[in-house]
Amino acid sequence: MIRTSLYIATFTLILFGIVLLFVKPDTLILDRPIQFSQKRIDMTLDYIHTHYDANATHITIDPRIIVLHWTEDDNLTRSFGYFDPQTVPSSWGNVTQASPLNVSAHFLIDREGRIWRLMSETTMARHVIRLNMDAIGIENVGGEGSNANLTPAQLTANIALVAHLKHKYPKIDYLIGHYEYTLFEGTPFWREKNATYRTPKSDPNPQFVEAVYEATRTLGLKRASDIAPQGL
């Protein structure tokens, strides 16, 4: 049913997305910062040293990619709780082994379509293996039990946020779903010292990502499938 409703909503949302280009961006976003003390700053820099660049001196990124996710939990409070702690829970297996730095994202969109900013868009968040130094992460509350249950309100909010980010950071070129990140292998974005560090991803459902892309097509964003393996 959600797939059908997304298709039905797409045409209307394309028009609505155009209108959203003229909405003052500050009215779209609510701040709900995760814990980000010096401890998290230091762990983020250590993560960059271990996985990307041993000589890095800062944790700032220059966004080129927007990555859409879902939290695999339909509850906002629990979803926020996954990102708020500064260290990864010890039960998270290979996530813990790669770094004690907790996962995070720049934005969290709840079931009603409210957009919560969790951290600065130009600070590296741990949300997508290999692409973190170039990517802004948007998490959507939902996908519990791998159900494709993101709401029309979330679709509208994603369209608005993607449009806002593209206008704020014109160098952003790509809009992808988390499940597409491995398509960047062989490009300059594919940064990782550990050649075996990757995990399969299936979030969010492709129909949702396609609907966001279609509604923001006029922004000139590319999909992961558009990238040439040997360059940009």
pLDDT in tens, 3-35: 544 444 454 455 444 545 554 555 579 999 999
CA atoms within 13 A on the CB side of 142: 23
209: its two tokens: 């990502």
Tell me the pLDDT tens digit for each residue of 85-130: 999 998 887 788 899 999 999 999 999 999 999 999 999 999 999 9
Identify whether the C-beta of residue 76 lies closer than 8 Å to the C-beta of residue 111: yes
Domains of the chain, with CATH numbers?
Answer: 2-226 (3.40.80.10)
**CA 112, 117, 119: angle at the middle one, nearest 5?**
155
The secondary structure of residue 132, as a DSSP letter, is G
- pLDDT of 27 reads 55
The whole-angstrom separation of Cα 195 and Cα 187 is 14
Say whether pLDDT at 184 is over 50.
yes
Say whether pLDDT at 153 is over 70.
yes
- pLDDT of 26 reads 53
232 vs 201 pLDDT, higher one: 201
Tell me the pLDDT tens digit for each residue of 202-221: 999 999 999 999 999 999 99
- pLDDT of 227 reads 81
Identify whether the C-beta of residue 30 lies closer than 8 Å to the C-beta of residue 112: no
The pLDDT mean for the chain works out to 89
Say whether pLDDT at 49 is over 90.
yes
pTM recorded for the entire structure? 0.89
Say whether pLDDT at 1 is over 50.
no
54 vs 1 pLDDT, higher one: 54
229 vs 181 pLDDT, higher one: 181
- pLDDT of 229 reads 56
